[in-house]
Amino acid sequence: MSEVFNLVNLKGGVGKTVSTINIAYSMSAMGKSVLIIDTDSQGNILTALGRNPDTSFPTLADIMSAAIDGKISYYDVRDCIMRIGSVDVIPANYLLAGLDLKLMNAMAREYVLKGIVEYVRKDYDYILIDSPPSLGVIVMNSLTASDYVLIPVEAQYLSFESLKVMLDTVNITKLKLNPNLNVGIFITKYQSNANICKAILEKTREMYGESVKVFDKQICYRGVKKKYYNIGDIKGIKIIKSYSAGGKYRGFYELKDKSGDFLYTTFFLKQVNDEIKAYEKGDLWFAQEFKKQILCSSVYDKDAIKYIQEENPNIIVVC
């Protein structure tokens, strides 16, 4: 039986979708079978993975509507699952936004998604649910279907302010619908050189650290360390193998420097002859001279990895 994690926050733009994708592919890199369920009608999971969230493929809205009508089976759920790289995805699109009214009138409306999850729970080690920035009936379904809720909190004041409302909602869910729900908070877009970020982290630990799990590590804002890294400045690079889509490689990496700070990001890679070029939003941002600079990237191609290691013996590459 799998464990179900729900990434949720009332505030938008705090890193729910990006964190869901990174966690999913990191788990997959460790040999685990993972399913992502997108419950946001914006369909950003597919967009982030390079797919178009259109209506040509069955989505979560289709199987939730069928579940409400009592016309659903294991095979109906499996038909909605698409394989993207090493992870399975149940996608969402704008049709999910129109399901709220039908859900409001459904019997046991908070348990519809839980019933869908139970059909495929035995097929995966982990199931990750990406929730929309709201407290509507879809989010209540996500919380009821989960074993763990992870709340990403941007290290800014407005995001911190929404945390109390989110935790109150989680506590009501635990009391009324899902008493076994476990809660964790992690800080995103953290800048170690910004006083506001330090204050938010300290205040989060002070106010909520005794009642819920506040993770020790923060997800750093990727713009803080956007620079060239000399080999002497790097303690280790962990490169996680990912997948190929549309001729480009979608990669994930973890970097740790001597100060102990972590940097997480996602970007596209493509191979041109014998050169590896990494792009962040289309801009080339690391040096081509591998002997002089560190390569902060995730590389899928084994020959490329071998080439980089030969040119830079101090680089640690883990696949």
Tell me, yes or no, if the pTM score tops 0.75: no
Quick check: 289 and 283 in contact, CB under 8 A? no
For position 61, what pLDDT does the model report? 93
Flag whether pLDDT at 285 surpasses 80. Answer: no
Residues 6+ apart with CB under 8 A from 77: 63, 90, 116, 119, 120
For position 312, what pLDDT does the model report? 52
Flag whether pLDDT at 149 surpasses 80. Answer: yes
- Other CB atoms within 10 Å distance of the CB of residue 180: 8
Question: Lowest mean pLDDT: which of 76-80, 110-114, 166-170, 263-267?
Answer: 263-267
For position 48, what pLDDT does the model report? 85
By DSSP bridging, strand 262-272 and strand 182-188 are unpaired
Question: Lowest mean pLDDT: which of 20-24, 157-161, 210-214, 255-259?
Answer: 255-259
Flag whether pLDDT at 317 surpasses 50. Answer: no
Flag whether pLDDT at 265 surpasses 50. Answer: no
